[in-house]
Every structure is written in C-alpha cells, then in structure tokens.
Amino acid sequence: MADRKLTHEKAQAFFEELWSRGDPWELETSEFEQAKYDQEILILDGRHYERALEIGCGVGSFTRRLASISRSILALDISPSAIARAREGQASLSAVEFRVQNIIDFDVHSEGSWDLVVMSETIYYLGWLYSFFDVAWLAAELFAATRDSGHLLMANTIGGVDDYLLRPWIIRTYHDMFVNVGYQPTSEKIFNGTKNGVPIDVLISLFTKPKKEGTL
C-alpha cells in the first residue's frame, strides 16, 4: 500500500505540474487535436450512449464531444487543477460530472455498468507509472464493468513522436491486452496529421464487449 500511495503522489504531482502551465498538449487550440477528436467521434459511427466513463479527461477538451452523444458522463482525471478548469469551462454540460480520481484506485463497478469507456492518450501513462499487473487488472475490471454490447474507445499516438512510451510495439501490446481480457476489435483507423510541424500517427480503436451466449 505504501508503494501504491507513493506512485499516486508521483502521478498527481507530475500531471499537476503540467496542467499548472496552462494547456501542456495544446488540446484546446491545436487543429491536429481537434481533427483527432473528430476522427474519434466518427469511429463511433453515429451511436449514442446512456452512460459513458472518460478516463484522463484533462480539462474536458474531448468531453464536450462526448456530451453530444452521451446522456450521462463521468469524466475522471488525477489532476485537481485540470478538473477545476474542466468544471469552470464546461459549466453548461449538466450531464457531465468531473471528478478528481486516479483510475487505478477507482472501483469501476461502484456506479453501475458503462455503455462507453473512453481512454484517449491515457493508457501509456498508466503503463509508465504502474506495474503490468495493475494495468492488466484495470483492463479486466473495465471489461467486467462494461455492459454487453458496450464499447471501449482508445486513441494513442503511435508514430512521429520520439518518446519511448509511444513505441508502436508498446501501444500494440496495450491494444492486445484489451482483446485478451475479452473485448472484440470492432473498428480501427490510423489518423495521420501534423502538429507543430511534426507528422504524427494516431491509432484509434473501437472495441465491443460481446453479448453473453443465450442473451438477446
């Protein structure tokens, strides 16, 4: 437990420091990021959802898009500063609850099942901070907490950025982890764009939790 607490404190301090600078990834202002969000919504193919869980929501840049297709959203981030800004900037989104929460310590079953789980540029930070077991356990718990025929949406940079967290084989390993816990790949695309003069590839994946045999 002591190690888990120290990791939590390290993670929170890291993201607090980033968000205290403003918008560290230019999520609000970058044309690339906005185009990526468009592609994430497009891969959902016009579907609408009753309950959505967004993990690593930051200041709510993508949450606004989700609000147009979701009746209710719980948006989580480990950074209090990010959540405070999300609440201020998205006050009109009555269907969204922004909450300071470390997903590793969150009981994903505690508030019912989810029709849509979203992890956009989040999983590799969890893999950096926590053990493989912790991340794999989270994947299994998310699968169990997803309703039958519900979806998991993931988007991860996979090329163009010189960061060891984003090596394509690492991102593909996370992708396969969610398949191994039971999600079925439904749709996938590589979004190509340019940010700050750098060509970037993003793997956008939609997974489905299959219905149990014998259910309608």
pLDDT, position 140:
98
Alpha carbon distance 85, 82 (integer Å): 5
Q: What would the two tokens of residue 106 be?
A: 């969150």
Per-residue model confidence as pLDDT tens for the chain (216 residues): 567 788 888 889 889 998 988 888 999 999 999 999 999 999 999 999 999 999 999 999 999 999 999 999 999 999 999 999 999 977 777 899 999 999 999 999 999 899 999 999 999 999 999 999 999 999 999 999 999 999 999 999 998 888 899 999 999 999 999 999 999 999 999 999 999 999 999 999 999 999 887 665
For 136, how many CA atoms within 13 A lie in the half-sphere containing its CB? 8
How many other CB atoms are there within 10 angstroms of residue 113's CB atom? 16
146: tokens are: 């997803």
Query: Phi/psi zone of residue 182: left (φ > 0), alpha (ψ -120 to 50 degrees), beta?
Result: left
Task: Determine the CATH number of domain 2-208.
Answer: 3.40.50.150
Q: How many helices (H) and strands (E) does the chain have?
A: 7, 7
Q: What is the pLDDT of residue 159?
A: 85
What local confidence, expressed as pLDDT, does residue 215 receive?
60
Predicted TM-score (pTM) of the model is 0.93
Alpha-carbon gap, residue 53 to 73, rounded angstroms: 6
Tokens of residue 130, six digits = 């926590």
Task: Give the pLDDT confidence score for residue 214 in this predicted structure.
Answer: 60
Structural contact between residues 100 and 48, judged by C-beta atoms closer than 8 angstroms: no
End-to-end CA distance of the chain: 42
Instruction: State residue 71 phi and psi, 5-degree precision.
Output: -75, -35
